[in-house]
Amino acid sequence: VRASLAMASRKVADFYARRAKELGYVARSAFKLLEMHEKFRVVKGSVLDLGSHPGAWLQVASRAMPPDAFALGVDLQETSLEGMRHVDATRVRVVRRDVFELDEHEIRAMRRDAGRPGDVFGTVLSDLAPRTTGSRVTDAARSYALAERAARLALGKKALDVLSDVSEDEVSAAEDDSEEDDSSGVLRVGGNLVVKLLEGPGGGRDDLSAVCKPHFESLRWFRPKATRGESTEVFLVARGRRQS
């Protein structure tokens, strides 16, 4: 049975890999975002794409976003847009950075450096994934840390307070006085958030839902058809950020 399931999973992956090549996408992951956008219209306005390498989601976002919108891709790996189909290089910029060393103020500065006015994005996408170890516990924990970081950049530090067991006084004492603490994130009111999570022991899905639910009109979990059968990945699709 396992051999049959593995073979079916490979066939699905091979199908989408072939289709990606035929249509000019750099990876089959493009079909995951294409499906989510078709179902939920997730791409809205300018786009911040976290974990953007090799660029497939930037390709999809470039085609889906309005003509005057801008896309910023962030990844640990270098990504070249030269010769990449479906991407208007005048409206897309990629930077090589670690999301754990990045804050909202730097993201806004990158936007200004690109000659794009405004401080916020209509869409924040996260296809961030850890280096897998084979341990479901370790992989799920690392994936959740990345997912939580994406939510924190999108919504601001205070969005994570829902997970805290300590009193407000203790939280206040532990925080510094930087401007970053007062930030409301880089996702605009009415905007959408899509975050990948590798499921496993530890409750990551429940925690991420708890962080995001108060801030959005609609929240659901979705597994695209292009996902490998053996993969534990699932995507949180959060639409319509509420006014805080």
What distance in Å separates the CA atoms of residue 176 and residue 172, rounded to the nearest whole number?
8
Contact yes or no for 216/1 (Cβ under 8 A): no
**Paired tokens of 99:** 């999301």
Choosing from 44, 196, 213, 225, the catalytic residue is 196
From CA 218, how far away is CA 239, in angstroms rounded?
5
**CA 238/CA 195 separation, integer angstroms:** 9
Which whole-number Å values give the CA distances from 13 to 80, 86, 214, in the listed order?
Answer: 24, 22, 35
Provide the 10 A C-beta neighbour count for residue 154: 31
Specify whether 196 is catalytic: yes
Partners of 187 in the β-ladder: 121
- The answer to whether the CB of 237 falls within 8 A of the CB of 180 is no
On the CB side of 42, how many CA atoms lie within 13 Å of its CA? Answer: 29
* Sheet of strand 92-96: strand arrangement: 92-96, 71-75, 47-50, 121-126, 187-198, 233-241, 216-222
Residue positions annotated with a catalytic role: 196
